[in-house]
Amino acid sequence: MTDTPWKTDGWFTSPWNFEPEVTKDWKFPEKIQIHDVTLRDGEQQAGLAFDYDDKIRIAEALAEIGVHRIEAGMPVVSKDDAKVVAELARRDFGPKVYSFARCMVDDVKRAVDAGVKGIIMEVPASPHLIEKGYRWELDRAIDLSIESTTFARDQGLEVVFFPIDFTRSDLTWVCDLIERVGTEGHMDGLALVDTMGATSIHAMQYFVRTMKSRFSDIPLEAHFHMDFGMGIANTIMAVSEGVEVIQSTVLGLGERAGNVPMEETVMALLTLYGINIGIKTEQLKPLADLVQEISGATVPLNRPIVGDDLFKIESGIIATWLLNCGDEFQTEVVPFRPRLVGQAEPQAVMGKGSGIDNCKHFLDKFQIQASDEQAMEVLMAVKEWGLIHKRLMKDEEFKELAEDVLSN
């Protein structure tokens, strides 16, 4: 870590992030991995479907960016899913390939047939969901988990136990369930699953510390959802307490409000905590664009890290900063350099919110001569245009408007 990890050539964040009072309780593991679930959990977003070719293209892009693990799918869902899992498991392209399964022996057999090395095994883990959602007897969840995880171990699979609705369960009951599975069945890792995204940051710290205390010899993974927008913060809180694996999706795709987005989580770790986990950040935007194109998902133009309009500067005051600072002092205006994530350079644009420096910049761009008074007349016309059209101006629209105003 540099002497000023908050200010590098690539970013400028708050120095308070690294004050000793802030960092003294950090317990970040030496190695943090991304376990990408775009192909499985991401596809559960309503109205979204990936075919075989889609999944292969996304997986190849994930491998290129440096993702450590890929959850290729759930073979029992369809022949197409089974084919994708088997194809990716066959490849030696970087990431370790996992499949997803219910805690059922038949699901494990499908994973074995696909040739994966690891398996994420889900089971309902809150008594109310087991009784009301599944209409099972409570002991059934325990018995199935023990039987199927034992079978998976005997087949040579790495097993990550995945208790659904973990965070809304009775803590004593679910810990007893996990302990029995670990003792009578098998687990190589334990996913802390906030299925409904319903946990506060403070409760997450308590949750992780409780699990670390009770299951100190089992590696922990974070799988959180975004229903209340807390998933990224909760994930970083969990990792700061020693959780080793982040389960995330590209663009935060997923059920309801989606899963934790990889882009924001990776960049927050890098720029706010000085932790580089090996992801090629300059490929975040191209990867997001690929997944957006394939999925048809709507991505807000100002989406953090990868939004198309993120570095278009309309506000007059901010545009003045941008034009005065230039490339050398770019991070005085934006918190990180766009090229760090594969974005285009910041640019001043014209719209209703623009100021006189935006206008003069565009007049110079088109070599249009104008006095200060004339430039202000053009700016007022731009503002009127912006109120009518409610969007940014294209270059040719500004040129035509400016010439028309000045000719009159």
Domain boundaries, the chain: 15-295, 312-407
| β partners of residue 34 | 246
CA atoms within 13 A on the CB side of 291: 29
Joined together, the tokens standing for residue 106 give 């038949």
Residues 153-169 pLDDT 10s? 999 999 999 998 889 88
Q: What integer is the mean pLDDT of 212-222?
A: 95
Residues 335-383 pLDDT 10s? 999 999 999 999 999 999 999 999 999 999 999 999 999 999 999 999 9
Ranking 137-146, 198-207, 222-231, 396-405 by mean pLDDT, the lowest is 137-146
User: By CB neighbour count within 10 A (0-12 exposed, 13-18 middle, 19+ buried), where does 80 fall?
Assistant: middle
Contact 380, 51 (CB under 8 A): no
Residue 131's pLDDT band (cuts 50, 70, 90): low
Rounded Cα distance between 20 and 32, Å, is 22
Residue 68's pLDDT band (cuts 50, 70, 90): very high
Q: What angle do CA 218, 224, 226 make, to 5 degrees?
A: 170
Residue 174's pLDDT band (cuts 50, 70, 90): confident
- Give the pLDDT score at 105: 94
The helix or strand, by DSSP H or E, that contains position 325, with its residue range, turns out to be helix 316-325
Whole-angstrom CA distances from 56 to 35, 52, 78, 151 are 16, 6, 16, 29
Ranking 132-141, 185-194, 218-227, 239-248 by mean pLDDT, the lowest is 132-141
Sign for the pseudo-dihedral over CA of 258, 168, 132, 144: positive
Spell out the residues 6+ positions from residue 118 whose beta carbon is closer than 8 angstroms to its own.
Answer: 69, 96, 97, 98, 99, 157, 158, 159, 160
Residues 286-326 pLDDT 10s? 999 999 999 999 999 999 999 999 999 999 999 999 999 99
* In the predicted structure, residue 126 carries a pLDDT above the cut 70: no
* In the predicted structure, residue 137 carries a pLDDT above the cut 70: no
- pLDDT, the chain, mean: 94
Q: Find tokens 């802390």 and name the residue.
A: 192
Q: Find tokens 């194809």 and name the residue.
A: 87
* Class (C level, CATH) for 15-295: alpha beta
* In the predicted structure, residue 176 carries a pLDDT above the cut 90: no
CA atoms within 13 A on the CB side of 307: 11
Share of the chain above pLDDT 70, in %: 96
* In the predicted structure, residue 125 carries a pLDDT above the cut 80: no
Q: Find tokens 């964040």 and name the residue.
A: 13
- Give the pLDDT score at 361: 95
Residue 132's pLDDT band (cuts 50, 70, 90): confident
- Considering only CA atoms, which of 252, 309, 253, 263 is closest in space to residue 285? 263
Rounded Cα distance between 262 and 374, Å, is 48
* In the predicted structure, residue 133 carries a pLDDT above the cut 70: no
- Considering only CA atoms, which of 144, 123, 252, 90 is closest in space to residue 193? 123
* Phi, then psi, of 369 in degrees rounded to 5: -80, 135
- Give the pLDDT score at 1: 65
Rounded Cα distance between 152 and 111, Å, is 9
